[in-house]
Structure 1
Amino acid sequence: MTSKTAILAAALSSLFALTTTAFAADAGNSEKCYGVAKAGKNDCAGAAHACAGQSSKSNSPKEFIELPKGTCERIVGGSLTPGK
């Protein structure tokens, strides 16, 4: 392995490590936002299905996506509680 290749590999490894750490740190700073998910883009289960990405309707008040805390209340149609 040349020194150029080794430096590139180290840089990429560092980048991936920092990205993973950033996402792990944000996990505690998120909240469920109902009513704003696009069809097929929801996070986790809803009443009508058991898994993420299975919502059949956009902006369903029963479907949610995880967003940073404080963001949901700023989105039109967003709610911190599931709708009917």
Structure 2
Amino acid sequence: MNHKQHLASAAIALVLASSVIAPVQAGGKEKCYGISAAGQNDCGNLAGTHSCAGQSTVDNDPGEWKLVAKGTCVDIGGMLKAEAKKRYADQQSKKS
């Protein structure tokens, strides 16, 4: 492939990725922390120890999240990001 083909491929990949992400955000979803079962998280965690879905190792880890319908997170026992960050920090300080 030449340089122009690489650029075109990258541009197409970016457009496709944007079209996948936008509907989730527009669909009224939010990240809900502390509700995923081991191996059932949606993406990277607060600790930064992984960046992929399905890599959580503990049930209901406050640093792991799943997308849920906006406004339902607390009702199902989860936490929004600010609370999850605080709980995660508290958990880490207890380990020290």
TM bin, normalised by shorter chain, reads: 0.5 to 0.7
Alignment of structure 1 residues 21-60 onto 2, 5 Å? 27-28=25-26, 29-46=28-45, 47-60=48-61
C-alpha RMSD of matched pairs (Å): 1.6
CA deviations over 1:4-27 (Å, ceiling 9, x no partner): xxxxxxxxxxxxxxxxxxxx7564
Q: TM-score, normalised by structure 2?
A: 0.56
Secondary structure of the equivalent of 1:59? Answer: coil
* 2:74 match: secondary structure: helix
| Aligned partner of residue 65 in structure 1, secondary structure | strand
Change (3 A) 1:54 1:26: closer
Listed one character per residue, the Cα deviations across residues 36-57 of structure 1 (whole Å, up to 9, x for unaligned) are: 0010000111122121100000
Secondary structure of 2:35 counterpart = coil
Amino-acid identity (%): 45
Tell me the matched-pair count: 60
Amino acid at match of 2:61: S
- Return the offset for 1:73: 1.4
Query: 3-state SS of the aligned residue for 1:40?
Result: coil
Unaligned residue ranges in structure 2 (runs of 5+): 1-21, 89-96
TM-score, normalised by the number of residues in structure 1: 0.64
**Structure 1: runs of 5 or more not aligned:** 1-23
* Structure whose alpha-carbon radius of gyration is higher: 1
